[in-house]
Structure 1
């Protein structure tokens, strides 16, 4: 595949999250979240460090390749963001996880992000960071969010007309719970991964008695990303500091169906929206890689690498429209070089093995 850089943006703050809007009529919009450490981080000195951030709202024109910054908002440091899924949502809804232990809901209205609701998950106010989140979209009722944090806890939150309501919270991992996701094929199941190297499966049907279904101990380092594939039933992909991308059948988690080494530790895994069996992976200390999955899910290989970024590759996502099948567009961002890129991806022969 051929990757061509269309835009390079200095984000001013360290960039770690990119999310294209999935809603109809808003596919051209995406957000970029940042995390900037300010002050002294030593416990023995004061004042303590401040984790500040910024969310940028951009609009990309796929016909002209023009990129326009529409809006920016100062926030606490951003760790993760996700748009509410579902193509026919009337107003695009964005959830953000920040360094104050909060979940924040924004609405995209008139090219601006308007803050609507805030829920603080840090009940003890001990410098909790909300690290990751995922939506479960319910077209006929309340929408749910699963969130993970720096204490290793997992929280289930309902979002509806009354705002954000905490439903359940429990201690899951011994160290940071880096990642969490709903099972796209069974919304009563969630997957979580932590710095303790464990991948857990939980049944959340009874909020007061969440049940651990399985414990996976195959990762050799912290589990940093989990993807329940939206078009491949019961397929779960994981990324780890051990640099391996793995495919599991979520019904039989004992042995992966396939794995591939990508180098650098895998922070994000994003499926393409044109059903080409492609994954965009943010490999922290190496690059952004595009991986091809076989139709039977038993083989993976890296077919392209994007090396424009130089220092901790964190944020990655595909442009969400399926209208243009001649090419795909991706956005990527990296931390210490404070860089956001928008790139074109076209078929031009695969990388030789």
Structure 2
């Protein structure tokens, strides 16, 4: 599987992207104490690459948030957030990178008056799971200082990491093996570009990695093209009234771009036409802001949305007038991030803010919670699955990384109930 990525908000938030390891019989965690209050907000695992890089088959605390497994924990200078995996089940990352976790941070420094500085970092960790009786630990490999990071995503076709930050910039990093080390990893700067004077809150790649979408704090959406060694804004328009918390390229129809906002609307845009004209815009189904969007990797007509109103909603893109109500599910906390299991059909991992984490079965019948995980002490913001060789052979080998907000805690753990599905 690919590296783990994490966002660490060092003052008020922290985000994580994560990649995990083989079966864990116990949990491990990481937490580092800083001089300033730090929180975490997001978690992501990158699992898109096979050998030689070939393809295998909201920042701070939300403005209006509402509200039994073996694991490991580690606290960091930032808090933890939500994780993500996309597309069809890949063969996995290069074996040399399957142990790598990337974590990004966001820190708000008050400087008197209205002046504020948002700083951050991106760190790589080695996740050592080992055999059942081996010690579990997270080991820091590499750190780069950045502006405050709100979101990161791995490219689906190459070991590139896209970073959206509080200075309105989009940066690309390349994951490389450290010289003279079998397990070391570093990030090399590829390029960066100014996207907006507003903050970049979310980023997503299209399936060919030729373009990225960026959600902005002023309600705008940007489409950014890759031009050799530079980034170029090809489209930018006012898509929503308030912050765009999430944007998502349709995996089968890359000209379609979905977005969700704090204005409670869920929208779709056709990039072949004037993108400022929405294909559809649903403003009635969500009672609060739309935080996350995910597409079923095995059934492309099914979309999920998560909202601050605590509901996970199921949509059929052939009829977007309203969600499939029979499958909507209240998870007891704002649904900040959702991730489909890379190998088990219709299984979703959700970060539910005040109500911990949930594993949900969303199939042909009603949606149902399979398992919950409530060992974090703060807002559940980051979550993702790992692909390992063991998981490809036995779903009981599934491994999850989760992170939480104000307690700056990252946990890696193994679900207990997937074997019953």
Same fold judged by TM-score > 0.5? Answer: yes
What does 1:1-353 align with in structure 2 at a 5 Å threshold?
A: 6-12=27-33, 13-22=38-47, 23=49, 24-25=93-94, 26-39=97-110, 45-46=112-113, 48-64=115-131, 65-86=136-157, 89=158, 92-110=159-177, 111-122=185-196, 125=197, 128-138=198-208, 143-206=210-273, 209-217=275-283, 218-257=285-324, 258-294=327-363, 296=364, 298-321=365-388, 323-324=390-391, 325=394, 326-347=396-417
Say which SS state the counterpart of residue 255 (structure 2) adopts.
strand
Q: For 2:341 and 2:99, locate their aligned partners in 1 and report how far apart those are by CA, in whole Å.
A: 16
Query: Post-superposition shift, 1:211?
Result: 3.1
- Which range moves more in the overlay, 96-105 or 274-283? 274-283
| CA distances 1:123-159 after superposition (whole Å, capped 9, x unpaired) | xx3xx21111111121xxx611011010000000112
Does the CA-based 8 Å contact 2:29-2:137 persist in structure 1? no
- Equivalent pair of 1:204/1:211 in contact (CA under 8 Å): no
Residues 235-286 of structure 1 deviation map (CA, whole Å, 9 limit, x = unaligned): 1100001000011011211222221000220110001111242111011122
User: 1:273, 1:322 within 8 Å by CA — same for their partners in 2?
Assistant: no
Q: CA deviation at 1:322?
A: 5.3
* Contact 1:58/1:70 (8 A) holds in 2: yes
Give CA deviations for 1:295-337 in whole Å, capped at 9, x if unaligned: x2x4211111111112211111111335432321111111111
Q: CA separation in 1, counterparts of 2:420 and 2:156?
A: 31
Q: CA deviation at 1:163?
A: 2.1
Instruction: Give me the whole-angstrom Cα distance separating, in 1, the residues matched to 2:362 and 2:121.
Output: 35
Distance across 1 between alignment mates of 2:143 and 2:44: 15
Find runs of 4+ consecutive structure 1 residues off by over 6 angstroms.
348-351
- Bigger proportion of residues as strand: 1
Preserved CA contact (<8 Å) 1:327 1:346: no
Q: Call closer, same or farther: CA 1:4–1:284 in 2, change over 3 Å.
A: farther
TM-score of the aligned structures, taking structure 1 as reference length: 0.88
Q: CA deviation at 1:341?
A: 0.8
Change in 2 beyond 3 A, CA 1:318/1:188: same
Q: Distance in 2 between matches of 1:102 and 1:70?
A: 25
Closer, same or farther: CA 28–160 of 1 in aligned 2, 3 Å: farther
Q: 1:3 and 1:284 mapped to 2: Cα distance?
A: 24
Q: CA RMSD in A?
A: 2.2
TM-score, normalising length from structure 2? Answer: 0.74
Tell whether the 8 Å contact from 1:327 to 1:347 is kept in structure 2 after alignment: no
Per chain length, whose mean CA-contact separation is higher, i.e. which structure has more relative contact order (CA < 8 Å, sep 6+)?
A: 2
Residue-by-residue CA offset, 1:18-54 (whole Å, 9 max, x unaligned): 22221221333221222222115xxxx5361211212
Structure 2 stretches lacking a partner, 5+ long: 1-22, 50-92, 178-184
Name the CA shift for 1:269/1:170 in 2 (closer, same or farther; >3 Å).
same
How far did residue 349 of structure 1 move?
7.5
* Cα 1:348/1:241, change in 2 over 3 Å: closer
* Structure 1 stretch displaced more, 285-294 or 187-196: 285-294
Report which stretch shifted further, 17-26 or 252-261: 17-26
Contact 1:76 1:98 in 2 (8 A): yes
Whole-angstrom distance in 1 between the partners of 2:329 and 2:389: 27
Q: Distance in 2 between matches of 1:242 and 1:251?
A: 24
